[in-house]
């Protein structure tokens, strides 16, 4: 599942501000109705109003991503950045409906957004169920 990159993040890459091996990246769940805007959603504070609220197994601020791998893709003329799968388990109630996840860099000041991965529709994690987001990937 590959997402849309925020324009501001491309600038940070060009400036050498991003270190995929050293920085901490997090994923936050976005509620139904959220529409990502790659030109104006620059920082975590720009999207926090649409983040899923803390409760029923989800914690605002998101989950830290781990296992980053950056690979060169000569066939498609890009770099692929992938992380391990992430998950949330609903407990005591449903989580959602959710529209997708926003990835942000928690190391850089003001938490710049990396990009957005849409679920392609609404998704609700029923009480007792686990949502696993596999193949967390961005393409640069």
Q: How confident is the prediction along the chain (140 residues), in pLDDT tens digits per residue?
A: 458 999 999 999 999 999 999 999 999 999 999 999 999 999 999 999 999 999 999 999 999 999 999 999 999 999 999 999 999 899 999 999 999 999 999 999 999 999 999 999 999 999 999 999 998 988 98
pLDDT (0 to 100) of residue 3? 80
Structural domain count, the chain: 1
Nearest residue to 24 via CA among 54, 64, 63: 64
Provide the residue count of the chain: 140
Cβ-based burial of 52 (10 A; exposed 0-12, middle 13-18, buried ≥19): buried
Q: What pLDDT score was predicted for residue 135?
A: 85
Contact between 1 and 133 under an 8 Å Cβ cutoff? The reply is: yes
Domain range enclosing 85: 4-139
Residue 75: strand, helix, or coil: coil
Cross-strand partners of 128: none
């Amino acid at each position: 599942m590959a997402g849309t990159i925020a324009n501001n993040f491309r600038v940070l890459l060009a400036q050498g501000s991003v270190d995929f091996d050293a920085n901490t990246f997090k994923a936050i769940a976005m509620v139904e109705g959220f529409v990502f805007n790659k030109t104006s959603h620059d920082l975590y504070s720009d999207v926090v109003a649409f983040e899923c609220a803390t409760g029923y197994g989800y914690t605002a601020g998101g989950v830290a991503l781990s296992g980053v791998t950056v690979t060169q893709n000569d066939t498609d003329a890009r770099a692929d950045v992938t992380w391990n799968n992430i998950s949330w388990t609903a407990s005591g109630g449903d989580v959602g409906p959710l529209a997708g996840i926003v990835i942000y860099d928690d190391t850089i000041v003001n938490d710049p957004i990396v990009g957005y991965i849409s679920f392609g529709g609404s998704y609700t994690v029923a009480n007792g169920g686990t949502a696993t987001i596999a193949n967390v990937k961005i393409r640069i």
